[in-house]
């Protein structure tokens, strides 16, 4: 029987190489991607806030699976948090961290 390991602290910090960040931001700002997100979110348009974070394990300090400083975006109806599509991560040659989340602001 496997026992669960409780994570008290998880370092969610990361850094991206400048070229990888530029490629990723270009993809996340892409017109067709923004249009697709707008349709899914039922709003006129969305704007990429250029805020990214690495999902973190559930803990008492991070019950939403994100660093605490990003929780206000989660709670706000004016923002949406998405998982960065894996193909965007691959195109940007970002392999560590293996997952990122991006924050978008709903407009209209």
pLDDT band per the 50, 70, 90 thresholds, residue 62: confident
Domain count, the chain: 1
Separation CA 28–CA 32 (nearest Å): 10
User: In this structure, what are the phi and psi dihedrals at residue 41, rounded to the nearest 5 degrees?
Assistant: -95, 0
Evaluate whether residue 37 is within a structural domain: yes
User: Can you give the pTM of this predicted structure?
Assistant: 0.84
Domain that holds residue 30: 18-107
15: tokens are: 């850094």
Whether 11 maps to a domain, the answer reads no
Residue 12 within any structural domain of the chain: no
pLDDT, one tens digit per residue, over 13-57 is 778 999 999 999 999 999 999 999 999 999 999 999 999 999 988
77 found inside a domain: yes
Task: Judge whether 1 lies within some domain.
Answer: no
- Whether residue 38 contacts residue 46, with contact meaning beta carbons closer than 8 Å, is answered with yes
**Placement of tokens 């017109």 in the chain:** 31
Looking at the DSSP bridge assignments, the partners of residue 48 are 104
Residue 9 included in any domain: no
Residue 8 lies in a domain: no
Asked if the structure places residue 54 within a domain, the reply is: yes
26: Cα within 13 Å, side-chain hemisphere: 8
Q: How many other C-beta atoms can be found within 10 angstroms of the C-beta atom of residue 89?
A: 19
Give CA–CA dist 102/80, Å, rounded: 8
Q: What does the CA dihedral 48, 63, 61, 53 come to, rounded to 10 degrees?
A: -20
């Amino acid at each position: 029987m496997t026992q669960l390991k409780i994570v008290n602290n998880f370092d969610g910090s990361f850094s991206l190489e400048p070229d990888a960040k530029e490629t990723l931001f270009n993809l996340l700002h892409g017109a067709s991607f923004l249009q697709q997100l707008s349709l899914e979110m039922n709003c006129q348009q969305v704007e990429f806030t250029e805020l990214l974070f690495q999902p973190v394990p559930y803990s008492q300090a991070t019950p939403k699976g994100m660093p605490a400083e990003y929780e206000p975006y989660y709670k706000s109806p004016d923002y949406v948090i998405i998982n960065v599509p894996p193909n965007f991560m691959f195109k940007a040659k970002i392999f560590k961290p293996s997952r990122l989340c991006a924050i978008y602001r709903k407009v209209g």
